[in-house]
Amino acid sequence: MFPKLEGPISNRMKFQGKEVLTWSINDYLGLANLDEVKAVDAEAAATYGAAYPMGARMMSGHTDFHEQLQNELAAFVNKEASYLLNFGYQGIMSAIDALVSKDDIIVYDVDCHACIIDGVRLHMGKRFTFQHNDIESLEKNLERATKLAEQQNGGILVISEGVFGMRGEQGKLKEIVELKKKFKFRLLVDDAHGFGTLGATGAGAGEEQGVQDEIDVYFATFAKSLAGIGAFLAADQEIIDYLKYNLRSQMFAKSLPMIYVKGALKRLDMLRSRPELKAKLWENVNALQSGLKERGFDIGTTSSCVTPVYLNGSIPEAMALVKDLRENHGIFCSIVVYPVIPKGLILLRMIPTATHTLEDVAITLDAFSAIRERLENGTYKRLSAAVSAAMNE
């Protein structure tokens, strides 16, 4: 828990003084450590310091550059307008809070990210969950929601994600928007992992699935592909105008500092002008995912860069395994166990980036074969039993 990765953000970083091959950082396009990107960050820091502009956007925290970034983001994701958020987490919570009133009904995917769950908690009216990516379940819940909306004279907000970050599945946005023919609702999509990685231009899961126009409110964070801090909402001008005056996380909080605004403008420019970064990312994703499948690993139903590997084992075995991976194979990836996933399963979650090489992939595949063998021949069970015996002495 709370591991410290040190050194420049890249495919190889330091953990406990030793170099590790890092597969747990969402710097998908490898922008975080590029000299020309850091030069813009440094110049903005030198010119503006860390504070400018002071105050909330509506009061004294607005600048031409905030406006420029919003216009460029909106154009990039093919929407009329956009609005900046200081952090994705608070921002989307606040958006959910602003978009619904007590007579409205929220229908959301049960596997949505914590920020959506927390946003839904702010809602004073009814909410229904649908089974993860299950369109039949969504339809059933839309029937319930429609009845209620008619009685209450309210509306329906459906919430899903472009990419579900644990398992890597894309939200079934195409199927969800099909339901607009049968039901009246608006769709909010959190595309934190899709923005910059999916779609022909990198505009995300909506572009990838050909339904960007049908997403009523599009959300993405700068914390992944754009390797920064901040986030944005994009939608029709009318919706953005409404949100500007009703988003409590922006109305009552200091504006995004210029370092991040100028930094995001630069990163967005890189995203548009350097398609080879996304191409390299996908070369690595395809090599890693096909290599794992060829070796018989279960990578579930991912349809994005997020690469999960499911293994069978207990929590103590998972701990021994991850220690072996880090200390003996020099590989650092995130590990997820019960209660996030069912008991008896171990999920190793890998995030390929444009900074990885095919050699990194080959080393990792060999290491994964080795740890699977040790998991299956009981080495980790014995190791974890020995550790707990020693602790009980």
Locate the DSSP E strands across 313-351.
Answer: 331-332, 334-336, 345-350
Instruction: Please choose, out of 81-89, 93-101, 143-151, 375-383, the segment that lies near ligand PLP by the rule CB under 6 A.
Output: 81-89
In whole angstroms, what is the distance from residue 328 CA to residue 16 CA?
A: 13
Binding track, positions 283-302, relative to ligand PLP; x by CB under 6 A: --------------------
Which member of 133, 221, 355, 384 binds ligand PLP (CB under 6 A)? 221
Which pair of tokens denotes residue 41? 């960050």
Cβ atoms of residues 320 and 388 within 8 Å: no
Cβ atoms < 10 Å from Cβ of 244 = 16
CA count, 13 A, side-chain hemisphere, 372: 16
Shortest Cβ distance from residue 236 to ligand PLP (Å)? 22
**What residues contact 51, with CB distance under 8 A and at least 6 apart?**
257
Shortest Cβ distance from residue 261 to ligand PLP (Å)? 14
Q: How many residues bind ligand PLP (CB under 6 A)?
A: 12
Handedness of CA 67, 71, 74, 77 (dihedral sign): negative
Rg (CA), the chain: 22
Shortest Cβ distance from residue 359 to ligand PLP (Å)? 29
Which is nearer to ligand PLP, 154 or 165 (by Cβ)? 165
Binding track, positions 170-199, relative to ligand PLP; x by CB under 6 A: --------------------x-x-------
Please name the residue that has the structure tokens 């505009």: 203
Which member of 61, 88, 263, 313 binds ligand PLP (CB under 6 A)? 88
Instruction: Indicate whether 95 belongs to the interface with ligand PLP (CB under 6 A).
Output: no
In whole angstroms, what is the distance from residue 139 CA to residue 117 CA?
A: 20
Instruction: Indicate whether 231 belongs to the interface with ligand PLP (CB under 6 A).
Output: yes
Which member of 57, 66, 79, 113 binds ligand PLP (CB under 6 A)? 113
Interface ranges with ligand PLP (CB under 6 A): 87-89, 113, 115, 161, 165, 190, 192, 221, 223, 231
